[in-house]
Amino acid sequence: MLTRKWIGINTAVMICFGSAIAAPAVSAETSLEDEQQQVQSERSEVQADIDAKQAEIEEVLAELEQLNEQIKRVEQAIKDNEQKITDTKTEIKQTKEDIEKLEAEIAELQETMEKRFDILKERAKTLQKNGGTVSYMEVILGSKNFGDFIDRVTLVSKVMDSDADLLEQHEADKEKLETKRQDMDDKLADLNDMKTELEGMQAQILEQKEQNDQLKEELKEKEQATRDEKASLQEKDQQLASEEQQIKEDIEKQETQIQAMSIEQSRDNASSFGRSSAASSAPKATGASGNVSTVISAGYKYIGNSVYVFGGGRTASDVANGRFDCSGFVSWAFSQAGVSVPASTGALTGAGSKVSAGNMKPGDLVFFDTYKKDGHVGIYIGGGNFIGSQSSTGVAVANMTSGYWKNHFKGHVVRVMN
């Protein structure tokens, strides 16, 4: 440094020419003090930056803690949703078994009905050969005596009763067959619904896993960046502290040299040379409506602090821990304004009156065709945005005028509150 060179020159001159150099030596000492003050000032600024950075680090650490909590919620949601998939697969398997039983029962019932129908056809043929109902009368009227008459009447009555029983059983079995077929159709429809739901759950599980990986990566990056910044500031502070200590030692040496030279050298020689030296070499110093607003704003506290869980938002524990699915969140948000709406997407489609997308306003329900028609629902908040519990983010505000949500919005809007 230039200042350090002036210090070296002044020191050499003072050693050679005596105490007359005291004035420039003092000037050099003053320059050291100025440099010391400059380093101290710079170090103060760095330490202030360190304090500010420490505050930022504490904010980052708090955010990292929140990220850790969010990761835990996502991991728990993945476990819960995977369990839901397992349960759904079990239901599908049971439904298939029920359908197989129904098919066996229907086949057995059809076989019984066909056999009974064959008996009735044979009796009908016999009746036709005997002249229809007249044959029964001929059997009765052809009796030889009263006893024979009674026997024939009794026999004919039994035959007619038997035919009536067969017909009654046939009609009952026919009705039973139709009921079983309807049950089978219902179970098949349920099976298809469960398969559709399963496909949707599997797709959203993948989204949640991707979200979890992304959160973990962000966590690592922020943690490393925080460590690097803190280490850099500490290193700079140590360098300044070392430089400050060196300047302090130089000042002490300079003071010792000045005191020694003032005793040993002649005042006259020092005065003569001191004037020219001082003149030539001295260095210089350096320097919405209330109810609708309640519905919309209710979920803001969960933004960045919630997770998507199938069936979530329907218990106090889920609400306390920010665990919602899309329809559960909508139902809970409206309940905060004292408005009761269903907690299933299908039921919400009929919870109010349909309005056109061009006339929708804050507080309206907006539906999206995701893994199925009306597979997702949220609350419109204006400006082309809606709030809802998304599988990839938990409760969040999303834009429905571009990207994914625009592509899946088909204009289905329902107004619950006027």
Q: Give, as one character, the DSSP assignment of residue 20.
A: G
Judge residue 90's burial from the number of C-beta atoms within 10 Å of its C-beta, 0-12 exposed, 13-18 middle, 19 or more buried: exposed
Sign of CA dihedral 397, 403, 405, 406: positive
pLDDT band with cut points at 50, 70 and 90 for residue 156: low
Mean pLDDT of 305-327: 95
Q: Does residue 142 have a pLDDT over 90?
A: no
Averaged pLDDT of the chain: 77
Stated as kind and residue range, the H or E segment containing 28 is helix 22-129
The reported pTM is 0.56
pLDDT band with cut points at 50, 70 and 90 for residue 334: very high
Q: Which of 303, 290, 291, 312 is nearest to 385 (CA)?
A: 303
Q: Does residue 342 have a pLDDT over 90?
A: yes
Distance of CA 349 to the CA centre of its chain: 24
N- to C-terminal Cα distance for the chain? 77
pLDDT, position 367: 98
User: Residue 413: helix, strand or coil by DSSP?
Assistant: strand
CA 322-326-328 angle, 5° bins: 65
